[in-house]
Homo-oligomer: A and B are copies of this chain.
């Protein structure tokens, strides 16, 4: 990857990291995503599983659903998905169903990542879509945000949004 390409991807990953920081401030595990179409950001999402109490409300799903609504189609051609953490099995499956051509992610998720860590779903030629994948874009920033969140959670400095809501 040339320096120019890397800067391009870093720029959009910075926007995905902004989404992750919104999640952090809401007491959610900080993961963010954006979708780019012909060079424009058309949707964004951040993890809302705690505040919505919806197990499927991952950043990628939010961004994919918004992009489908925006473009008026369930097939997201000519798009790139930027996400701060390696997608899980659910999100990798959603990426394949939406036919997203290119996925760029930050940090690896060694416990449940389904792109390189546990599975390589986006490269499975038995499925009817495969993606170009670029990893390790601003991975340290993404990992630092996650580490900070879990450290704060353990120390009681921040509370998960579901715990906050229970007290209202």
List residues of chain A with CB under 8 Å of any chain B CB.
49-50, 52-57, 61, 64-65, 68-69, 72-76, 88-94, 96-99, 111-112, 114, 118-119, 121, 124, 126-128
| Given A89-B93, A97-B90, A124-B118, CB of A55 within 8 Å of CB of B64 | yes
In contact, B98 and A93 (Cβ under 8 angstroms):
no
A49-B74, A89-B89, A119-B119 known; A94-B56 Cβ under 8 A: yes
B residues in contact with A92, CB < 8 Å: 89-90, 93
Known: A56-B64, A90-B92. 12 other contacts (CB 8 A): A49-B74, A54-B74, A55-B68, A55-B98, A56-B68, A57-B74, A89-B89, A89-B121, A92-B93, A93-B93, A118-B127, A119-B119
Of A94, A96, A128, chain B has the most CB atoms within 10 Å of the CB of A94
User: 9 tightest CB-CB pairs across the interface, nearest first?
Assistant: A90-B93, A89-B93, A55-B98, A55-B74, A55-B97, A53-B74, A90-B94, A54-B68, A56-B94
Complex-state Cα separation, A97 to B124, whole angstroms: 22
Most central of A55, A68, A92 by chain B CB within 10 Å? A55
User: B55 near A75 (CB under 8 angstroms)?
Assistant: yes
Query: Least Cβ distance of A92 to chain B in Å?
Result: 6
How many angstroms from the CA of A96 to the CA of B93 in the assembled complex? 13
Contact (Cβ within 8 A) A97 B93: no
Q: What's the Cα separation between A124 and B113 when bound, in Å?
A: 13
* Complex Cα gap A135–B123 (Å): 27
